[in-house]
Amino acid sequence: MTAAKPRPVVLSGIQPSGRLTLGNYLGAIKNWVPLADTHDCYYMLVDLHAITVRQDPKVLRERCFEFIALYVACGLDPSRNVLFVQSHVPAHARLSWVLNCYTQMGELSRMTQFKDKSAKNVDNINAGLFDYPVLMAADILLYDATGVPVGDDQKQHLELTRDVAIRFNNAHGTKDRPVFIVPEPMIPPVGARIMGLQDPTAKMSKSGDAETDAIYLLDPPDTITRKLKRAVTDLGNEVRYDVKDKPGVSNLMSILAATTGQTLEQIVETYNGQGYGKLKGAAAEAVVECLRPVQARYAELRGDEPGLMRVLRDGAQRASQKADATLMRVHEALGFIPQ
The catalytic site residues sit at 117, 203, 206
SS3 content of the chain, % helix, strand, coil (to 5): 55, 10, 35
252-263 burial by CB neighbour count: b if 16+ within 10 A, else e? Answer: bbbbbbbbbebe
Q: CA–CA separation, 306 vs 55, rounded Å? A: 24
| H helices present in 74-197, as ranges | 91-100, 105-109, 112-120, 127-141, 155-172
Q: Note whether 260 and 251 are within 8 A (CB).
A: no
Q: CA–CA separation, 163 vs 174, rounded Å? A: 16
Q: CA–CA separation, 186 vs 54, rounded Å? A: 30
Amino acid making up residue 231: A
